[in-house]
Amino acid sequence: MQNIYDLSYTDLENYFLKKGDKKFKGQQVFEWLYRKRVTSFEEMTNLKKEVIALLKEEFEMRTINITKVEKDTDVRKYLFTLKDQEKIEAVLMNHLYGNSLCISTQVGCNMGCKFCESGRLKKVRNLEVHEMIEQILMVEEDCGKRISHVVVMGIGEPFDNYDHLIKFIEIVNHSKGIALGSRHITVSTCGIVPKIKEFMNLPYQVNLAISLHAPNNEIRNQIMPINHVYPIEILMDTLKEYIKKTNRRVTFEYILLDSINDTEECARELAQLVKGMNCYINLIPYNETNNISYKRTKSFNISRFYDILKKNRINVTIRREYGSNISAACGQLRSKKED
């Protein structure tokens, strides 16, 4: 049975047209789902009983459940159980500018980045559109606050679930839906070049973040297998094309790993790599886990790396750390089998 949250505004209009009905009923259903946040078809009180009966026969609604919530300062981590009993996680972060939710797009991940906890479980499957949307709906219900920003940076590689990702963006961006502005949505990829090329031709002004984490092929090959397929020079040429096409700034995520990619030479090489690009670097102190041997860069080296980039006139920030006490920080999410 199809989930109703898999359907876009246009999909619902077309559904009713194909049933020989008026398309405005699709508009009504869409608004019930996202404006009034009903959790059953019976709550759609302006629809006739036969229409409600049809929807109940052909669609299901909520299928994921919150299994566990862990809290830290300004952070909540959610463990969800899916209909097939697989697990995913999402993280709510409270910022001065609003509430940001980091959502997952896959159960497991096939990218195999050596420093990332999420990739220790190989991809089981892609998330469906509704499973991404329901993460937002259920977190808003739980915390009683509106999600103002969504970052697609949780478990999984979003561009490895590209079609569902784009449908998700269409629905949450729609003015009669969750109504998240394009610039309040950020999608992260480790660098699947063909999908970046597709993404640049879409009408959405969604933010793009690149998990770079190394200034050259030698280091990136060591820690990110995707680089063997799309080396840095190909990735950077594509991103320059993206910037020219979209006139949008690109964010480079750079996790600092002790004695791996945190040297002065790496900082200077990184500055040269992005010089002249409309971008900024987001430096991320590594969040250690029990299962991975990489170590956190020393505070002195983080500051030194930052200063070198600044001196080279590169826009750079050091990411504020969230949720490491509850394994909710960058690179720590995983598809748990246990509660």
Report, as residue numbers or ranges, the catalytic residues: 89, 330
10 Å CB burial of residue 110 (0-12, 13-18, 19+) is middle
CA-to-CA dists, residue 59 to 15, 62, 66, angstroms: 12, 10, 21
Q: Which two tokens stand for residue 260?
A: 């791996």
Q: Which two tokens stand for residue 180?
A: 């998240």
**With the C-alpha atoms ordered 47, 34, 161, 1, is the resulting torsion angle positive or negative?**
negative
Work out the widest C-alpha separation in the chain, in whole angstroms.
69
* Residue 125 φ/ψ region, left for φ over 0, alpha for ψ in the -120 to 50 degree band, beta for the rest: beta
Instruction: With beta carbons less than 8 A apart as the criterion, state whether 250 and 278 touch.
Output: yes
Q: What is the CA radius of gyration of the chain?
A: 21
Instruction: With beta carbons less than 8 A apart as the criterion, state whether 107 and 86 touch.
Output: yes
10 Å CB burial of residue 244 (0-12, 13-18, 19+) is exposed
In the chain, how many H helices and how many E strands? Answer: 11, 14
